[in-house]
Amino acid sequence: MPAAAAVHAVEPAPMAEAQSPKKETARISVLPDPPKPAPTVQMKKTQPLITMPEPKMGGAPVNVAPVITRDEDVDLVPMSLCWGVLGASALILLIQIWNYFA
């Protein structure tokens, strides 16, 4: 017999009874009430907090810088230096803008 003639027909298995979905039940247990919180703890046998020792007065002398008023701060920087820094920063900004568009 040739191999092509040896094809067998597959028949479905006979159904003895109609199959339907089985009923499934889930068992849900009832949870007990949550436990009550424990009573507050009284801290009678705890160790006392460690206190910092008092600082000793009369140690090394403290040198305080003299107070400079606002008018004296402005006079410390020469006006020509301020204008020079402003001009240099403006020149750098113009060069950066020129390079961006070039």
pTM tops 0.85, yes or no: no
C-alpha distances (whole Å) from 36 to each of 6, 12, 31, 32 are 77, 63, 14, 12
Per-residue pLDDT tens for 12-66? 665 556 676 677 777 777 877 777 777 776 767 777 778 877 777 766 777 888 8
98: confidence class by pLDDT, cuts 50, 70, 90: very high
Report the distance separating Cα 91 and Cα 85, nearest Å.
10
